Structure 1
């Protein structure tokens, strides 16, 4: 459409752009009609839908540290429970069965029953078949056995009477090293129903005696010493647990002392 102005030539109308986008569904002026390609995606740079990314699997090894720790704790618990059950079972056994279970112990109660008959008091020196003696006739007076550590030999006749009362008598060679002697003394010193003294002519460095029982070992570190004491102290008595260990002879020397008043 042309617009004429009076007295001048015709002018074409000026097209003013409004800046508005074409309506939806209408192709833009620059688009190629009939191209058939979908419009590009702004996120994919116009290359179409993005393919899904597969997750990367990270291989994780087992944590062996905690597993080893739990295993060790479990084994320790089992060991503790097992030892407790074993100790309970052992403690429930009769003392004489526990004594027979000590490796190397000699039970004269089985081999010589007449030897362990009590109450055979006799004056003067007595000859014993066992050295040191474990039972048999003995002096009226017992050796004091209130944890006494004698540094010289004592009379066997008094010591055997102490055994009859339930004492354990530890003897050792006079040439036993001082540190070994002290280890033995530490077990004895101050403990009722125990005594120790050197003894000439032992065929083993250390010999332990209870009434009717004997155990010989090579050194004071042998664990059987504690087992012997624990099992036989008091238990081996044929006079009962109330038999005295005090008020006995405290003198040393191999010759017995004939003190008449003591008859128990």
Structure 2
């Protein structure tokens, strides 16, 4: 009906004072949908910012972590750091081994020199009192064979090497009660025998002791010898040991060391020699 109700002012127009604006028209399709835009005259609220939280991500930072100490500067001659300990230990071990090798070489030369001088040498197991003609007079130890009837001359008494006859004295543990031909006994020494000689005036008890060390032992022979300077004398090729008593422990030491080992013809037997 015209004039029953006044015509409402347009939406958004200023309203007369003392009057409330009429409610917005109701849509038959339901309440209005929020478009996300602010009403006229208001600003858009701030939007969410995408990206890493402040202080968590960013380009990698190189160098020591904040607050740590910088590495010490290199100084020539400074002690090795902990990481070089293995190298230092290895170099120390090599140095010690080198010193030990040098000491061993020096000791070897020392003992060899003492042995050539005729002094004691524990390294070679030298027996006290042994005369080593191989070192002192190798020219006395000629190996030439003599014809029967020739008379060999020796510079040591009894002979411990030198020119000799082609036949040797049997040395299968033989104990001769009379002197033997010296040139034959020297040939036995060349085969590796030990020849024990004694003055004819030696006490029978000492003779028996020596005989007990000779009998039934290959590469051994024993006989009296007129004119030798010591009561007892032991000979191997190039070696000699003068003694006074048969119970001297060096008798066994000499036999053990030089019997067969002093041979210049290893493997040559003492059998088939002359026994007269």
Question: Same fold by TM (over 0.5)?
Answer: yes
Q: Is the 8 A contact 1:99 1:105 kept in 2?
A: no
Q: Is the 8 A contact 1:108 1:212 kept in 2?
A: yes
Alpha-carbon distance in 2 for matches of 1:98, 1:195: 29
Alpha-carbon distance in 2 for matches of 1:170, 1:99: 23
Report the secondary structure of 1:225's partner residue. Answer: helix
Residue deviations 1:205-238, cap 9 Å, x none? 0000000000000010000000000000000001
Q: Is the 8 A contact 1:147 1:188 kept in 2?
A: yes
Could you tell me which residue of structure 1 aligns to residue 152 of structure 2?
126
Residue 114 of structure 1 deviates from its aligned partner by: 2.4
Could you tell me which residue of structure 2 aligns to residue 177 of structure 1?
203
Report the secondary structure of 1:114's partner residue. Answer: helix
Alpha-carbon distance in 1 for matches of 2:123, 2:235: 16
Distance change (3 Å), C-alpha of 1:98 and 1:196: farther
1:113 partnered with 2:142: no
TM-score (norm 1): 0.56
Alpha-carbon distance in 1 for matches of 2:136, 2:167: 27
Residue deviations 1:110-160, cap 9 Å, x none? 011223343x10122211111100011000000000000000000100000
1:154-173 to structure 2, matched below 5 A, reads 154-173=180-199
1:145 partnered with 2:193: no
Distance change (3 Å), C-alpha of 1:98 and 1:230: farther
Structure 1: gaps spanning 5 or more residues: 1-95, 252-264
Alpha-carbon distance in 1 for matches of 2:231, 2:137: 25
Alpha-carbon distance in 2 for matches of 1:230, 1:116: 22
| Matching residue within 216, 221, 224 for 1:195 | 221
Alpha-carbon distance in 1 for matches of 2:224, 2:260: 22
Alpha-carbon distance in 1 for matches of 2:262, 2:122: 12
Number of equivalent positions: 154
Alpha-carbon distance in 2 for matches of 1:142, 1:234: 15
Distance change (3 Å), C-alpha of 1:147 and 1:98: farther
Alpha-carbon distance in 1 for matches of 2:138, 2:272: 29
TM-score (norm 2): 0.54
Between structure 1 and structure 2, the one with the greater Rg is 2
1:44-63 to structure 2, matched below 5 A, reads none
Could you tell me which residue of structure 2 aligns to residue 243 of structure 1?
268
1:191-230 to structure 2, matched below 5 A, reads 191-230=217-256
Higher relative contact order (CA 8 A, sep 6+): 1
Report the secondary structure of 1:214's partner residue. Answer: strand
TM-align CA RMSD: 1.6
Could you tell me which residue of structure 2 aligns to residue 257 of structure 1?
none
Distance change (3 Å), C-alpha of 1:106 and 1:190: same
